[in-house]
Amino acid sequence: MFPRMRLHKYTWIKIIVKKLKYLQMDPKIPFQEIQQFLYAFHILKLKLQKGQVIIYQFIQQKRNNSRLMEGILKQQQELLGMDSSKYSVEFMKNGTDKQEHQVLSCQSVVKVLSPDDGRLSIVQAAQQLCRAVELKEKTSKDINVTVLDSLLRESKNIPDPDLVLKFGPVESTLGFLPWHIRLTEIISMPSHVDVSYDDLFGALQRYAMCDQRLGK
Amino acid sequence: MSWIRERELSFIERLTANILKAGPMPKHVAFIMDGNRRFAQKAHVQRQEGHSQGFEKLAETLRLCLNLGIHEVTVYAFSIENFKRSKEEVDGLMELARQKFSRLLTEHENLERHGVCIRVLGDLTLLPIDLQQLIAKAVVATKAHNKCFLNVCFAYTSRHEIANAVKEMAWGVEQGLIKPSDVSEVLLGECLYSSNSPNPDLLIRTSGEVRLSDFLLWQTSYSCLVFQSVLWPEYSFWNLCEAVLQYQLSYRSLQKAGDLHREGQALQQMEADRCCVAELLQHRGNGKPMDAQSRQKELLNYTASREERVHCFLNALQHKRDTAPFLPRRAAASV
């Protein structure tokens, strides 16, 4: 029924939730909008292999995080019923994030990120390396892309997204994981409100047609 | 051919430019000039010819940007990943670069007239030595120009650039110029290859690909991204206008986002300073609690001394870059 899609083992999808919208509106509303997306995604997910979803909330201040978390979990229960154990939701906290559950299992993970998880994570890794240099555990010559990359993976176990689905009219990544998106395909969609299964599937088909030459 | 083409706008083009200029205009535009090889295939010419036409288009686009009042342009000319291409193609691209940088040294007057300052960003140590020296001469020759800026990313990837910036800060710590706690988002930005430029307002990628390919990942976090399907050697004034229009449509949201981000940065810095002061006072502490006024004074002193440290470090870093090893001694002396 579904054509074979050339998808990587971990297909990450991300939503940018436009900050302005949420500051002005009743905090309850985000849950309803995310509900539709999760539902559409749920149907799609049954056809995909292992997958993970990141929800990126462009909110500077840490507002209502626990309410958002509660809301998402509640929606999960309502929508997914029996399947809800297949999904786990977590907030990425700024700083070290020790993963208990393996993301390599059939579980799908919803992660909620903010701009602090982007540049600020890189700055924190840089501070860590500088402290090591101060204590003479390392020299500046030891620092390269690999070292920095592995340090970033240690603190936040997020693989590089293959695909970013960007919702909303603002044509920007708005600080989303700058280090991780070097090869990520960025597909824009008009809005996350009333997003349909067909819209999502269409975006995934577009992704499948991308030809990554990786410099060659 | 020349680095900057003479290209006057037609009446319709001038009219359009004036209409666009009534709205907010980007001051710095970055281009991923993709599609040279596909163009060559389409036009049934050699790949090398595709790259050559790509360079011509760069010269023309630079002029078009100037006509639109865009005074800074950054282009992705050659990625570190491109070394994976066939030896023939890589050698061809190096040869093209040799020709163009040599040409640059001969058309000094033209560049002076337009006030074009050319900078080359990337890990130049990966390039053949003779090309490194040519580039060094070209950069030195146009260093004093300040009407418009062309930043050419050559042997560049963004991750390398960020890792290099971290390395430079670590060097600063090694030299005793800064402390690890001085490391911040702002400082990292100052240690990037692109530290002399503001962040791009607009990033344009041609040929229909919708990824960043390791280009300016840090600097374009709050930039307008426009992906256009036209192949680079076919890029036109109208394509540029379309991209600028897209920028204008996203302008207000991006300004707000950028302002919020900067506010957040300032708050974070103040918080970090406060923590450092608290730690210092604890160390120094004689058990007596400090009143708010003295604490505030200590905070201001600490901030001032941190800024001084950072200023000295950045000067030392600039000096290190200006006297880079591939600059022949005579050229270094004249800098």
| Phi-psi region at B330: left, alpha or beta (left = phi > 0; alpha = psi -120 to 50) | alpha
Report the pLDDT averaged over residues A42-68: 47
Does residue B29 carry a pLDDT above 60? yes
SS3 track for B32-70:
ECCCHHHHHHHCCCCHHHHHHHHHHHHHHHHHHHHHCCC
CATH for A112: 3.40.1180.10
Alpha helices in B107-157 (DSSP H): 108-114, 129-142
Whether residue A10 is contained in a domain is answered as no
| Two structure tokens written together for A121 | 């994570």
Give the count of beta carbons closer than 10 Å to the beta carbon of residue B129: 9
Weakest-pLDDT range from B9-18, B60-69, B264-273, B321-330: B321-330
pLDDT at B164: 96
The two beta strands, B116-121 and A185-189, are unpaired
How many domains are there within chain A?
1
Weakest-pLDDT range from A86-100, B121-135, B247-261: A86-100
pLDDT digits (tens, 9 = 90+) for A67-113: 666 666 666 666 555 555 555 555 554 433 443 333 333 345 667 77
| Two structure tokens written together for B281 | 């006072």
- From the list B84, B221, B246, the residue facing A215 with the nearest CB is B84
The CATH number of B11-180+193-266 is: 3.40.1180.10
Q: How far is B274 from chain A (nearest CA, A)?
A: 17
Instruction: Determine the residue of chain A that is closest to B262 in CA distance.
Output: A60
A196 versus B312: the higher-pLDDT residue is B312
CA distance B273 to A61: 19
| Two structure tokens written together for B84 | 């994976």
**In angstroms, what CA-CA distances link B305 with A123, A134, B174?**
21, 19, 18
Q: Distance between the two ends of chain B, CA-based, in angstroms?
A: 27
CA distance A79 to A39: 7
> Which chain A residues are within 8 Å of B165, Cβ to Cβ?
126
Q: Which residue has the tokens 């506010």?
A: B263
Q: Do B213 and A144 touch (CB under 8 A)?
A: no
Q: How far is A19 from chain B (nearest CA, A)?
A: 8
pLDDT at A83: 57
pLDDT at B287: 62
> Which chain B residues are within 8 Å of A212, Cβ to Cβ?
211
pLDDT at A168: 81
CA distance A175 to B222: 6
B251 versus A5: the higher-pLDDT residue is B251
Whether residue A179 is contained in a domain is answered as yes
Whether residue A3 is contained in a domain is answered as no
Confidence of residue A158 (pLDDT cuts 50, 70, 90): confident
Asked whether B84 and A214 are in contact (CB, 8 A), the reply is: yes
The two beta strands, A87-91 and A185-189, are unpaired
Report the pLDDT averaged over residues A123-146: 95
pLDDT at B321: 87
Which residue out of A135, A140, A149 would a mutagenesis test of the B interface target, given it has the greatest number of B Cβ atoms within 10 Å? Answer: A140
- From the list A130, A138, A212, the residue facing B183 with the nearest CB is A130
Whether residue A132 is contained in a domain is answered as yes
pLDDT at A91: 54
CA distance A56 to A18: 9
pLDDT at A60: 36
- Please give the backbone phi and psi of residue A111, each rounded to the nearest 5 degrees, phi first: -115, 135
Model pTM score: 0.84
pLDDT at A190: 83
pLDDT at A17: 32
Domain span at A183: 17-21+29-87+107-208
Which residue out of B47, B203, B210 would a mutagenesis test of the A interface target, given it has the greatest number of A Cβ atoms within 10 Å? Answer: B210
Residues 6+ apart with CB under 8 A from B81: A214, A215, A216, B157, B213, B214
B248 versus A155: the higher-pLDDT residue is B248
Give the side-chain half-sphere CA count within 13 A for B86. Answer: 5
Asked whether B220 and B47 are in contact (CB, 8 A), the reply is: no
pLDDT digits (tens, 9 = 90+) for B281-308: 888 776 667 788 888 899 999 999 999 9
Secondary element (H or E) of residue A103: none
Q: Chain centroid to CA B244: how far?
A: 19
Question: What is A69-98 written as a DSSP string?
Answer: HHHHHHHHHHHHGGGGGGEEEEEPPSS---
Residues 6+ apart with CB under 8 A from A209: none
Whether residue A157 is contained in a domain is answered as yes
| Two structure tokens written together for A164 | 């970013």
| Two structure tokens written together for B226 | 């426009």
B192 versus A204: the higher-pLDDT residue is B192
Burial of A216 (0-12, 13-18, 19+ CB in 10 A): exposed
Strand segments (E) across chain A = 11-17, 51-57, 87-91, 108-113, 163-167, 185-189
The type of residue at A43 is I
Torsion of CA B97, B102, B106, B107, to 10 degrees: 10
Does residue A122 carry a pLDDT above 90? yes
- From the list B79, B169, B260, the residue facing A130 with the nearest CB is B169
B7 versus A23: the higher-pLDDT residue is B7
Weakest-pLDDT range from A23-32, B19-28, B63-72, B265-274: A23-32
Q: Do A170 and B250 touch (CB under 8 A)?
A: yes
Q: Average pLDDT of chain B?
A: 91
Does residue A4 carry a pLDDT above 60? no
CA distance B164 to A141: 10
**Residues of A (11-50) whose Cβ lies below 8 Å from B:** 18-20
Q: By three-state DSSP, how is residue B225 classified?
A: strand
Torsion of CA A70, A74, A79, A80, to 10 degrees: 80
A25 versus B260: the higher-pLDDT residue is B260
Which residue out of A172, A173, A189 would a mutagenesis test of the B interface target, given it has the greatest number of B Cβ atoms within 10 Å? Answer: A172
Asked whether B173 and B179 are in contact (CB, 8 A), the reply is: yes
> Which chain A residues are within 8 Å of B84, Cβ to Cβ?
214-216
Inter-chain Cβ pairs, chain A and chain B, closer than 8 A: 158
> Which chain A residues are within 8 Å of B162, Cβ to Cβ?
122, 148, 179
Asked whether A53 and A111 are in contact (CB, 8 A), the reply is: yes
Nearest CA among A187, A174, A172, A183 for reference residue A212: A183
Does residue A141 carry a pLDDT above 70? yes
CA distance B89 to B71: 32
Does residue B35 carry a pLDDT above 90? yes
> Which chain A residues are within 8 Å of B157, Cβ to Cβ?
182
Does residue B36 carry a pLDDT above 80? yes
Whether residue A1 is contained in a domain is answered as no
- From the list B174, B211, B257, the residue facing A185 with the nearest CB is B211
Q: What is the CA radius of gyration of chain A?
A: 18
Does residue B80 carry a pLDDT above 90? yes
CA distance A161 to A89: 17
Does residue A127 carry a pLDDT above 80? yes
Whether residue A94 is contained in a domain is answered as no
Which residue out of B183, B185, B263 would a mutagenesis test of the A interface target, given it has the greatest number of A Cβ atoms within 10 Å? Answer: B183
Domain range list for chain B: 11-180+193-266
For the ranges A19-23, A87-91, A97-101, B254-258, the maximum mean pLDDT occurs at B254-258
> Which chain A residues are within 8 Å of B82, Cβ to Cβ?
215-216
**In angstroms, what CA-CA distances link B190 with B117, B183, B317, B323?**
19, 11, 10, 18
Q: Chain centroid to CA B59: how far?
A: 18
